[in-house]
A = this chain, B = another copy of it.
Amino acid sequence: MCQSVFRNKPDTQVTFSLINRSTHIPLANLIDEGELREQLDHIRSLSLRRGESTWMRGNTFYGKRQMFRPDFMDWFEKLRLPPYHLERVGDQYELTFEGSWPEVMLWEIPALAVLMELRGRAVLNTMGRFELQVLYARAMTKLWEKVEHLRQVPDLRIADFGTRRRHSFLWQDWCVQAMQEGLGNGFAGTSNCLIAKNRDMEAIGTNAHELPMVYAALAEDDAALASAPYDVLADWHEEHEGNLRIILPDTYGTNGFLRNAPDWLAGWTGIRIDSGDPAAGAETAIRWWQERGEDPRTKLVIFSDGLDEAKIVELHKQFLGRVRVSFGWGTLLTNDFRGLTEGDRLAPFSLVCKAISANGRPTVKLSDNPNKAMGPQDQIDRYKRVFDVGAQKRFEVLV
């Protein structure tokens, strides 16, 4: 994504902001501001190490060598992340990042991971040595039972998408290894490049909502807005092939997006279902492919919204044979500490870091779930009109 932005919109000025959808978690009471600043300052001191750069230049991604162009790598090697703005407001933190899009976008993952891990450490600090050992013993047992359940299911393909909201780095590393040992070829890889590098796994991923959100915010009028979600994929189409050609259709409503999509998009490899009722989303995609003369059985459906192992097994059973099914398993893979502490103080929660404006204009996300929508109300109304989004069903957002 960063390379695509670097090539196509390098000068776009964006603001990213932390958004804690779980307002009952008082982050500013839990995490010391000094400690948070120390971590964020440390992130700004980091740059690509030589071995990391070598790996990016030399590694095969999705079977393809040299996915990253020399000019991008030259820029990336010199990059340090831009400044942050941190302010305590009530019992929450306002944390924002401003600057050019390709630089600012790289803050999302470390900012979220640091906040999740500091919150975890604040809770762990109150526990005794054996309570800690037994906490991790229980968490390991819990994850391994999920893995043992999943390994019973033939032809399952699951990837780790859990970096940003992981419990901690070491814990994610353990979870990913457990998945590899337990699922073997059923484990498709991780979107965490460092773990992929260290553990000789596939580094994988898809494109995210920020691409259409920023492209849409840059649109000069309603006509440009209506075509923005396709423009961004046209840029993507030029650059990527195969399993990287995955549609993320829900930013402004899946139904309208597919209805108005150009035919070349139906030729893409698959679709990622990230909000709303996942089964309904997959059925919509199947119908759309059939209408466009494509064989759904050759198409990939990647489920990635709030998955846990029971839901994975259910969706897999439901769609096996009708499409190629895959799963991007996130927070409940790398941070399922639910029920393991008194008062459930380590349960994961819904923290995101999103582009909120581009070149001074607010961004908007509608999603297939109004609980995941964001942006100023007048812009939400405008986007709903432009993208012809009707009534939407609400779904609880756990993570």
Point out residues on A near B: beta carbons under 8 Å: 128-130, 133-134, 136-138, 140-141, 144, 147, 177-178, 181-182
Nearest residue in B to A143 (C-beta to C-beta)? B134
- Contact partner of A141 among B138, B177, B178, CB < 8 A? B138
Residues of B with C-beta under 8 A to A134: 140-141, 144
CA distance A129 to B178 in the complex (A): 9
Residues of B within 8 A of A140 (CB): 133-134, 137
Residue of B nearest to A139 (CB): B137
For the complex formed, measure the closest distance between the CB of A153 and the CB atoms of chain B, giving whole angstroms: 18
A181 in contact with B137 (CB, 8 Å): no
Nearest B residue (CB) for A178: B130
A334 to chain B minimum Cβ distance, whole angstroms, is 16
Which chain B residues lie closer than 8 Å to A182 at the CB level?
130
Residues of B within 8 A of A130 (CB): 144, 147, 177-178, 181-182
Q: How far is the CB of A181 from chain B (nearest CB, A)?
A: 4
List the B side residues contacting A178 at CB < 8 Å.
Answer: 130
Contacting residues, chain B, for A136 (C-beta < 8 A): 137
Complex-state Cα separation, A128 to B183, whole angstroms:
13
The DSSP consensus for interface residues of chain A is: helix
Complex Cα–Cα for A138 and B145 (A) = 11
The answer to whether B129 touches A137, judged by C-beta atoms less than 8 angstroms apart, is no
Starting from the known contacts A129-B181, A134-B140, 5 additional A-B residue pairs (CB-CB under 8 Å) come to A130-B144, A130-B182, A133-B144, A137-B141, A137-B144
**Docked complex Cα distance between A256 and B144 (Å):** 54
Chain B residues near A177 (CB-CB < 8 A): 130
For the complex, give the distance between the alpha carbons of A183 and B33 in Å: 36
CB distance from A166 to the nearest CB of B (A): 18
Chain B residues with CB under 8 A of A133: 140, 144
Nearest B-chain residue to A174, judged by Cβ: B133
16 residue pairs from A and B, CB less than 8 Å apart: A129-B181, A130-B144, A130-B147, A130-B177, A130-B178, A130-B181, A130-B182, A133-B140, A133-B144, A134-B140, A134-B144, A137-B137, A137-B138, A137-B141, A138-B141, A141-B141
6 residue pairs, one from A and one from B, having the closest CB atoms: A137-B137, A137-B140, A134-B144, A130-B181, A137-B141, A130-B178
Distance (Å) between the CB of A175 and the closest chain B CB? Answer: 11
Cα(A177)–Cα(B129), bound, Å: 10
CA distance A112 to B177 in the complex (A): 36
Cα A133 to Cα B174 with chains together (Å): 10
What distance in Å separates the Cβ of A111 from its nearest Cβ neighbour in chain B?
A: 31
Q: Measured between C-beta atoms, what is the minimum distance from A199 to chain B in Å?
A: 13
Indicate the member of A133, A178, A181, A182 with the most B CB atoms within 10 Å: A133
Q: Which of A129, A140, A182 gathers most chain B CB within 10 Å?
A: A140
- Bound-state Cα–Cα, A102 to B177, Å: 51
Q: Which residues of B contact A128 (CB under 8 A)?
A: 181
CB-CB nearest in chain B for A138: B141
Assembled-state Cα–Cα distance A141/B181 (Å): 22
Least Cβ–Cβ distance between A105 and chain B, in angstroms: 35
**Chain B nearest CB: distance from A122 CB in Å?**
22
A345 to chain B, nearest CB (A): 17
- List, in ascending order, chain B residues with CB within 8 A of A181's CB: 128-130
A339 CB to nearest B CB, Å? 13
CA distance A178 to B128 in the complex (A): 11
Nearest B-chain residue to A148, judged by Cβ: B134
- Bound state CA distance, A138 and B134, in angstroms? 9
